[in-house]
């Protein structure tokens, strides 16, 4: 039964004639309440507000009726004067006996129960039930089921009780069949669709959860689209409208976004003026990195302001604020930016209050602030601190707000967080006829004991690899931006390209810290002990046999690595560079060497950011300094990630003695990779893109390798030559990660090389 069938007249039944209402007044000696079972008579009389013995008008009686009805406790209310007695007849709302949901298959009862306000053993309220039904329908809408309906019903029981039933018609998910844009000239529909959170349904629609219409997501997309254009200099960009219409079959939506791009602006003159005597404008101007002619972006302005404010702090100038004053030049489509150094209000941080962190220590959150109690208050620094807290990954939600403290010049920073799980467990297994079952177990905790430390432990007993590793990372040693890492491991593996096995144990602590905005420096120490082992009843070439005979060797080395990376912090959001160089020096043990590695990567996007161009150059040189000769496991090998078109260790020096074909590695290598990635014209939700590439490289040099006992012609590739490879790629973004299918052809190779025309890799994104 629905309460909608109750006649509306019952809710307005006040037994007073319209003619008497204006002329008659009443005086009651007592108030009589009828029909109440749970609600006390005195409570109802209090709601009515009629005092015995006091004259009241008909209008005041109507007000009394409205107060009793407005209490929300009664289904019907009648007020009837009977001489000196005011009779108040009420019908109480029933008590909810239980709540049921019917028709729901996609969402469980528990989740629906947590969302509604109506509860068993509480008084039934139609208004609350209607609001609950709206909440449930909205929940289904957020899952793309915009046609879902929820109807509340009541079933009358004895003792003025009812069962509340929400009848749910879930309906199907209504997908977005096509997302199109109107008014876009600079960027194609395909490029803009990649920006949006909302996706159009594609061939893999069963696996896509963002191809349904959700109102909140569309609103978010408008802001994301605006940010995309603003970061590329289109300062007048506007979303004029977003139109959503049913398809002719009414089983899907068309979404059309009408935009106005405007013109692209670049930075014009960039100047700095100072309104503070102790701030030298020329000195602050020299600290700016953005230059005239660069495409305008609000983020570059924000980064420049942050850079100037950090310089002020270094110079001890408190309360300096940077005000960007922008002048628009329509003639040359440029924006002149004047950074004005002004004095901000003298406000200090009184304290930082942290709430909601049930397991994470306060100091882990406080370490994300560069200010402490008593420091000058800087709103920009507080916003950056909030972003660092969210980036930790420890909290599902983190809000940072500032409020006035105990006085006008004091501010209290409130940090409210919600914890989320930070640990992970991975399980795997393998099986072979010769070695039986193997297991792989991995445990990782990114917030160990709430200290913000990372601890990992892995065990693998697979037939070809046995591994036991333990890792520990302290990202904020001594409360500073100083990362300490400790790695300890014991591994054993079967070589896939030679007839020997290896065992290795290592201990490797390292310390890294920033040296500039874009650069970090890592120092490390490595203790390593390793051994090459012969396989039963397997013969090898002369070189490998001799190296197996060396037995176990140990080494101690120290090293430095410098990394300069502008991929995320550069002036151009579509281009970036990475430069990395590192050196390790063996200072003790059996192996004495100097190993130097370098890598450089440059990337840019062209054709409206549809095509990605990337160039990578890397090289390594190993110089053996000890009295011992080097082993194959000490030298370089090239994997398919470094040089495509060949099997792992498929190019470079080889030992052909004893009728074998053993890869023995080299002391030097050089590889250059050039590639382009582009769309294939398929819906982007499929996740497929194409690519072409050209690789050139070589692995050579066998100095300090014991080649005695080998005949002429047994050792090949000691000098080698550059190999050239071209290929096509198919890149597929899947749920398990980005996959890359490479089809290659070696244009130039050596006769002893091991070519590979196809490989499948899990691609590492740049």
- The pLDDT tens digits for 453-491 are 999 998 887 666 788 999 999 999 988 889 999 999 998
In a domain, 658, yes or no: yes
In a domain, 287, yes or no: yes
Q: By the 8 A CB rule, do 495 and 507 touch?
A: no
**Does the pLDDT of residue 13 top 60, yes or no?**
no
Task: Using alpha carbons, select from 334, 351, 361 the residue that is nearest to residue 269.
Answer: 334
What is the structure's pLDDT at 157?
Answer: 87
In a domain, 586, yes or no: yes
What is the structure's pLDDT at 524?
Answer: 97
Query: Measuring CA to CA, how many Å separate 215 from each of 210, 241, 287?
Result: 12, 14, 44
Indicate the residue among 219, 245, 260 that finishes a domain.
260
Residue 228: pLDDT band with limits 50, 70, 90: very high
Residues 723 and 653 reside in one and the same domain? yes
What is the structure's pLDDT at 296?
Answer: 94
**Does the pLDDT of residue 7 top 90, yes or no?**
no
Range of the domain at 86: 3-92
Task: Using alpha carbons, select from 432, 315, 330, 313 the residue that is nearest to residue 384.
Answer: 313
**Does the pLDDT of residue 33 top 60, yes or no?**
yes
- Which has the higher per-residue pLDDT, 738 or 204? 738
Q: Say what angle helices 379-391 and 298-314 make with each other, to 10 degrees.
A: 110
Residues 510 and 623 reside in one and the same domain? yes
Residues 611 and 522 reside in one and the same domain? yes
Using CA atoms, how far apart are residues 377 and 355, in angstroms rounded to an integer? 20
Q: By the 8 A CB rule, do 453 and 447 touch?
A: yes
In a domain, 425, yes or no: no
What is the structure's pLDDT at 210?
Answer: 52
What is the structure's pLDDT at 251?
Answer: 61
Using CA atoms, how far apart are residues 675 and 689, in angstroms rounded to an integer? 13
**Does the pLDDT of residue 2 top 70, yes or no?**
no
Residues 612 and 743 reside in one and the same domain? yes
Task: Using alpha carbons, select from 491, 630, 623 the residue that is nearest to residue 547.
Answer: 630
Counting the structural domains of the chain, the total is 6
Residues 635 and 697 reside in one and the same domain? yes
What is the structure's pLDDT at 766?
Answer: 34
Task: Using alpha carbons, select from 100, 111, 164 the residue that is nearest to residue 140.
Answer: 111
Using CA atoms, how far apart are residues 66 and 433, in angstroms rounded to an integer? 84
Using CA atoms, how far apart are residues 723 and 643, in angstroms rounded to an integer? 9
Q: By the 8 A CB rule, do 62 and 12 touch?
A: no
Q: What is the mean pLDDT of the chain?
A: 86
What is the structure's pLDDT at 495?
Answer: 64
In a domain, 635, yes or no: yes
Q: By the 8 A CB rule, do 675 and 614 touch?
A: yes
Residue 418: pLDDT band with limits 50, 70, 90: very high
- Supply the CATH number for residue 190's domain: 3.10.20.310
What is the structure's pLDDT at 19?
Answer: 39
**SS3 of 509, please?**
strand
Q: Write out the two tokens for 622.
A: 């190993």
What is the structure's pLDDT at 56?
Answer: 86
Residues 604 and 521 reside in one and the same domain? yes
Strand partners, 717: none
Indicate the residue among 260, 284, 307 that finishes a domain.
260
Strand partners, 487: 471, 508
* Residues 213-233, mean pLDDT to the nearest whole number: 85
What is the structure's pLDDT at 250?
Answer: 56
Indicate the residue among 169, 196, 220 that finishes a domain.
169
Residue 14: pLDDT band with limits 50, 70, 90: very low
**Does the pLDDT of residue 436 top 90, yes or no?**
no
Which of the residue ranges 175-179, 268-272, 659-663 has the most confident prediction, judged by mean pLDDT? 268-272
Per-residue burial over 299-316, b = 16 or more CB atoms within 10 Å of its CB, e = otherwise: ebbebbbbbbbbbbbeee
What H or E segment, with its residue span, contains residue 63? Answer: helix 58-70
173 phi and psi angles, rounded to 5 deg: -75, 135
What is the structure's pLDDT at 284?
Answer: 94
Residues 513 and 374 reside in one and the same domain? no
605 phi and psi angles, rounded to 5 deg: -120, 135
What H or E segment, with its residue span, contains residue 86? Answer: strand 85-92
Residues 181 and 118 reside in one and the same domain? no
**Does the pLDDT of residue 387 top 70, yes or no?**
yes
In a domain, 121, yes or no: yes
18 phi and psi angles, rounded to 5 deg: -65, -35
Residue 572: pLDDT band with limits 50, 70, 90: low
In a domain, 446, yes or no: no
**Does the pLDDT of residue 144 top 70, yes or no?**
no
Residues 534 and 399 reside in one and the same domain? no
Residue 566: pLDDT band with limits 50, 70, 90: confident
- The pLDDT tens digits for 320-356 are 999 999 999 999 999 999 999 999 889 999 999 999 9
**Does the pLDDT of residue 83 top 90, yes or no?**
no
Residues 122 and 229 reside in one and the same domain? no
Residue located via tokens 């502008």: 566
What is the structure's pLDDT at 715?
Answer: 94
What is the structure's pLDDT at 12?
Answer: 37
What is the structure's pLDDT at 10?
Answer: 36
- The pLDDT tens digits for 272-282 are 999 999 999 99
Strand partners, 384: none
Q: Counting beta carbons within 10 angstroms of the beta carbon of residue 225, is it exposed (0 to 12), middle (13 to 18) or buried (19 or more)?
A: buried
* Residues 383-405, mean pLDDT to the nearest whole number: 91
- The pLDDT tens digits for 153-167 are 989 888 888 899 999
What is the structure's pLDDT at 685?
Answer: 65
**Does the pLDDT of residue 652 top 80, yes or no?**
yes
Query: Measuring CA to CA, how many Å separate 431 from each of 425, 437, 468, 500?
Result: 21, 4, 19, 21
* Residues 429-458, mean pLDDT to the nearest whole number: 79
CA diameter of the chain: 131
* Residues 14-42, mean pLDDT to the nearest whole number: 69
Residues 688 and 746 reside in one and the same domain? yes
In a domain, 292, yes or no: yes
Residues 204 and 120 reside in one and the same domain? no
């Amino acid at each position: 039964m629905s309460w909608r069938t109750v006649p509306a007249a019952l809710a307005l039944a006040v037994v007073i004639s319209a003619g008497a209402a204006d002329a008659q007044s009443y005086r009651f000696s007592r108030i009589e309440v009828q029909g109440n079972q749970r609600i006390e008579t005195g409570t109802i009389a209090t709601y009515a507000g009629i005092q015995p013995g006091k004259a009241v008008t008909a209008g005041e009686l109507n007000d009394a009726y409205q107060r009793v009805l407005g209490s929300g406790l009664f289904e019907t209310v009648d007020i009837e004067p009977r001489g000196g007695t005011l009779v108040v007849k009420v019908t109480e709302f029933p008590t909810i006996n239980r709540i049921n949901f019917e028709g729901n298959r996609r969402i469980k009862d528990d989740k629906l129960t947590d969302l509604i306000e109506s509860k068993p053993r509480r008084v039934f309220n139609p208004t609350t039930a209607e609001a609950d039904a709206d909440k449930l329908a909205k929940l289904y809408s957020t899952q793309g089921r915009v046609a879902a309906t929820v109807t509340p019903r009541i079933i009358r029981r004895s003792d003025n009780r009812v069962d509340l039933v929400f009848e749910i018609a879930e309906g199907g998910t209504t997908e977005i069949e096509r997302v199109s844009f109107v008014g876009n000239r600079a960027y194609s529909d395909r490029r803009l669709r990649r920006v949006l959170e909302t996706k159009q349904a594609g061939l893999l629609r069963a696996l896509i959860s963002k191809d349904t219409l959700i109102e909140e997501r569309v609103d978010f997309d408008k802001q994301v689209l605006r940010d995309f254009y603003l970061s590329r200099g289109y300062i007048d960009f506007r979303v004029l409208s977003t139109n959503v219409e049913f398809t002719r079959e009414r089983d899907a939506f068309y979404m059309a976004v009408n935009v106005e791009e405007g013109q692209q602006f670049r930075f014009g003159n960039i100047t700095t003026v100072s309104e503070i005597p102790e701030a030298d404008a020329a000195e602050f101007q020299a600290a700016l990195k953005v230059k005239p002619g660069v495409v305008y972006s609000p983020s570059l302005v924000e980064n420049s302001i942050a850079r100037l404010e950090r310089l002020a702090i270094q110079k001890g100038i408190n309360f300096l604020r940077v005000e960007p004053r922008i002048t628009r030049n329509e003639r040359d489509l440029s924006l002149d930016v004047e950074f004005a150094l002004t004095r901000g209000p003298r406000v200090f941080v009184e304290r930082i209050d942290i709430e909601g962190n049930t397991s994470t220590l306060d100091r882990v959150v406080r370490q994300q602030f560069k200010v402490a109690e008593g420091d000058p208050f800087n709103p920009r620094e507080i916003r950056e601190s909030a972003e660092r807290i969210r980036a930790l990954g420890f909290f599902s939600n983190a809000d940072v707000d500032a409020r006035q403290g105990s006085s006008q010049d004091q501010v209290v920073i409130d940090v409210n967080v919600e914890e989320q799980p930070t640990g992970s467990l991975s399980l795997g297994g393998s099986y072979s006829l010769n070695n039986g079952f193997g297991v792989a177990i991995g445990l990782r905790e990114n917030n160990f004991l709430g200290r913000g430390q990372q601890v990992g432990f892995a065990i693998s007993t697979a037939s070809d690899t046995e591994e036991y590793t333990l890792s520990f990372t302290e990202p904020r040693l001594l409360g500073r931006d100083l990362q300490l890492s400790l790695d300890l491991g014991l591994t054993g593996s079967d070589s896939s390209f030679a007839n020997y096995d290896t065992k290795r144990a290592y201990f490797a602590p390292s310390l890294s810290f920033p040296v500039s905005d874009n650069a970090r420096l890592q120092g490390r120490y490595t203790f390593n002990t390793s051994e090459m082992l012969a396989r039963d009843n397997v013969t090898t070439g002369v070189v490998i046999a001799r190296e197996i005979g060396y037995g176990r060797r140990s080494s101690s080395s120290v090293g430095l690595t410098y990394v300069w990376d502008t991929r995320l912090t550069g002036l151009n959001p579509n281009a970036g560079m990475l430069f990395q160089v590192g050196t390790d020096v063996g200072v003790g043990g059996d192996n004495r060497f100097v190993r130097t590695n370098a890598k450089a990567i440059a990337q840019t996007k062209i054709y409206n950011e549809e095509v990605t161009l990337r160039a990578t150059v890397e090289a390594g040189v190993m110089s053996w300094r000890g009295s011992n000769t080097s082993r194959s496991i000490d030298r370089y090998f090239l994997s398919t990630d470094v040089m495509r078109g060949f099997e792992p260790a498929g190019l470079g020096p080889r030992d052909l003695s004893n009728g074998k074909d053993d890869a023995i590695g080299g002391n030097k290598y050089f590889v250059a990779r050039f590639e382009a990635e582009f769309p294939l014209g398929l819906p982007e939700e499929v996740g497929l893109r194409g690519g072409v590439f050209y690789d050139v490289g070589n692995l050579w040099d066998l100095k300090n390798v014991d080649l005695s006992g080998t005949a002429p012609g047994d050792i090949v590739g000691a000098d080698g030559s550059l190999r050239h490879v071209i290929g096509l790629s198919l890149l597929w973004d899947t749920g398990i990660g980005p996959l890359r299918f490479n089809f290659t052809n070696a244009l130039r190779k050596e006769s002893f090389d091991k070519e590979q025309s196809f490989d499948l890799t899990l691609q590492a994104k740049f």
